[in-house]
Amino acid sequence: MRRPLVAGNWKLHKTIGESVALARAILHRLPRETRADVLVAPVFTAIHAVHGALGESTRVGLAGQSCYFHDEGAYTGEVSPALLKDAGCEAVIVGHSERRQLFGETDETVRRKAGACLSHGLTPIVCVGETLEQREAGTTEAVVLGQLDAALEGLDASSVRRLVIAYEPVWAIGTGRTAQPADAQAVHAAIRARVSARVSPDVAAGLRVLYGGSVKADNAAALMACADVDGALVGGASLDAASFVAIVEAAG
């Protein structure tokens, strides 16, 4: 009942020309019918050009990699959900661990950003995940569910219905280390159970929970075969059209 989603996070990579070329290559390789929805998140400067390159195609959507929670104002260097929508985005990655670790993103800013995205009709892809120290200390679930609770604070059921959650263990991002499917499934199931308890079983049943952390063409199928894994947030492997499309195809 949940349609998988595979989202490519291009991070701080690629010029406008390279981004357009990658988007075209993905479109070219993508089968006409895919079971999964597909999103790519280019750098801000390339979003508008990639939107143009995708043209009328609805097979690949656009996401921002982050946003601020105000629409406009004296916020040097920031970009708002309204402007991302204007540039062609339908979704925004919020609370990526690199934002949390390197740029001071907190549970509170994640919550406000997710709310701002929702109020502009954008889908927030809210990232949660534990560090290696937290996993080794046995606090994975507490950390992940704490981040989830903070993001859900104040949202009504119809808003939660529009969220996507991405479980991304920090130790697996960009490291080549991937969670074992069973370990990922356990955390995804805990996320769904929490949404079921906090919001409703119906909303939880429809919520898409993506896995992220060194997803590649050769491990994607096993991860996405897990009952509560509804797709992938892909960093490194999304920078190459062939490997990204192979991950999309692995979704079924």
Applying CB under 6 A, the residues found at the interface with ligand PEP are 9, 96, 168, 173-174, 212-215, 233-237
Nearest distance from C-beta of residue 215 to ligand PEP, angstroms? 5
Is 98 a known active-site residue?
no
Q: CA–CA distance from 145 to each of 109, 195, 219 (Å)? A: 17, 10, 25
Q: How far apart are the first and last CA of the chain?
A: 13
Closest residue to ligand PEP: CB criterion? 235
What is d(CA 128, CA 191) in angstroms, rounded to the nearest whole number? Answer: 10
Is 96 a known active-site residue?
yes
Beta strands (DSSP E) in 16-159 are 37-41, 61-64, 91-94, 123-128
A 10 A CB-CB count for 147 gives: 24
Nearest distance from C-beta of residue 99 to ligand PEP, angstroms? 10
Q: Which of 96, 98, 105, 130 is catalytic?
A: 96
- Closest CB to ligand PEP among residues 34, 214: 214
- Closest CB to ligand PEP among residues 38, 203: 38
Q: Is 11 left (phi over 0), alpha (psi -120 to 50) or beta?
A: left
- Closest CB to ligand PEP among residues 63, 195: 63
Structure tokens at 123: 């889908």
Nearest distance from C-beta of residue 122 to ligand PEP, angstroms? 18
Nearest distance from C-beta of residue 187 to ligand PEP, angstroms? 14
Point out the residues that are catalytic. Answer: 96, 168
